[in-house]
């Protein structure tokens, strides 16, 4: 899809400013694909990782080879004070973001009786508390930009239909849907849209343990999705063309649901 110049640049007086978008968890997987796609379209991408600084640096190097630019933030989204500190510093040193893609997440699968306290806590603290920890320090600076903005969260087919072995993950991903819809209502008058993308089975490290033969039977398109396909959807939701889409959950799952 062609993106117009005005689509990714905002004007302040005579100054033309590049729109910046934070993509959490962009060291690898879906987040990396989103970062590369948005950079290609001219956004200033703020990359993020927790442990994998080297992989994030590689993503940034790829962005630079195609003429784009960005920077890397490193923090644990389950750590509230660390998240707030790093994000506030970045916004003060640079600018409030046009967009935020809340992509970082993890799964710790086990049948419910075998699900440990740590499995439950890690998944809820990262995926669901991460929503608050990342967005709370960012939202008011976004509002003060007095310009349209975009928030896109990553849920999952598991949050929509519930998945065996993922009671913790389904709970967190369903929670993200409710939180995103409520935030969409609060921010609508500020022209900041909030939407949730719900992927099915996407080819990344996260699904390396999945029994593929069994899983493919549940997917009418009979294949896993590609991170780049999710990135295409996120890119559309970031664009001006998507200005009238908010409070939605958009599935990308090969027809699973
Ligand atoms: P990956 O496991 O490939 O990558 C996860 C990313 O999240 C990494 O960049 C990782 O950083 C970061 N991350 C994980 N935990 C934390 C944390 N506590 N603090 C900061 N960063 C963290 O995942 P995917 O790309 O597969 O998934 C991306 C999103 O899409 C997730 O929210 C996932 O739940 C969702 N999703 C994925 C599906 C799939 O089939 N792959 C299906 C449905 C939803 P680092 O590299 O530093 O560890």
Residue 68 pLDDT exceeds 60: yes
Give me the percent of the chain exceeding a pLDDT of 90.
89
Question: Known catalytic residue: 169?
Answer: yes
DSSP characters for 149-192? EEEEEE--HHHHH--TT-HHHHHHHHHHHHHHHHHHHHHGGGTE
Say which range, 8-22, 118-132, 197-211, 234-248, has the weakest mean pLDDT: 8-22
> What predicted TM-score, i.e. pTM, was given to this entire model?
0.95
Which of 25, 49, 109, 229 to probe ligand 1 with, by most ligand atoms within 8 A of CB? Answer: 25
Nearest CA to ligand 1 atom 33: 105
Across 139-149, average pLDDT: 98
Among 187, 95, 203, 103, smallest CA distance to 150 is for 187
Residue 141 pLDDT exceeds 50: yes
Predicted local distance difference test score (pLDDT) of residue 16 = 52
* Dihedral of alpha carbons 28, 9, 19, 106, sign: negative
Predicted local distance difference test score (pLDDT) of residue 211 = 87
Residue 40 pLDDT exceeds 50: yes
Nearest CA to ligand 1 atom 10: 25
């Amino acid at each position: 899809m062609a993106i117009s110049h005005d689509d990714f640049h905002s004007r302040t007086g005579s100054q033309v400013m590049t729109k910046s978008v934070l993509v959490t968890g962009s060291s690898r997987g879906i987040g990396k694909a989103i970062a590369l796609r948005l950079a290609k379209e001219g956004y200033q991408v703020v990359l993020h990782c927790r442990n994998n600084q080297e992989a994030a640096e590689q993503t940034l190097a790829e962005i630079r080879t195609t003429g784009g630019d960005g920077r890397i933030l490193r923090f644990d989204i389950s750590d509230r004070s660390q998240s707030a500190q790093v994000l506030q510093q970045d916004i003060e040193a640079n600018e409030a973001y046009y967009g935020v893609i809340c992509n970082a997440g993890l799964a710790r699968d086990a049948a419910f009786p075998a699900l440990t306290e740590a499995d439950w806590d890690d998944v809820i603290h990262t995926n669901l508390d991460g929503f608050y920890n990342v967005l709370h320090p960012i939202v008011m600076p976004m509002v003060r930009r007095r310009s349209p903005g975009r928030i896109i969260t990553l849920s999952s087919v598991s949050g929509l239909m519930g998945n065996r072995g993922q009671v913790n993950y389904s709970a967190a991903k369903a929670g993200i849907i409710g939180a995103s819809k409520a935030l969409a209502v609060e921010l609508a008058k500020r022209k900041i849209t909030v939407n949730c993308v719900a992927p099915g089975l996407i080819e990344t490290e996260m699904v390396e343990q999945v029994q593929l033969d069994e899983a493919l039977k549940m997917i009418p398109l009979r294949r896993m999705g590609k991170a780049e396909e999710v990135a295409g959807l996120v890119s559309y939701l970031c664009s001006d063309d998507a200005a009238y889409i908010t409070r939605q959950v958009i599935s990308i799952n090969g027809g699973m649901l």
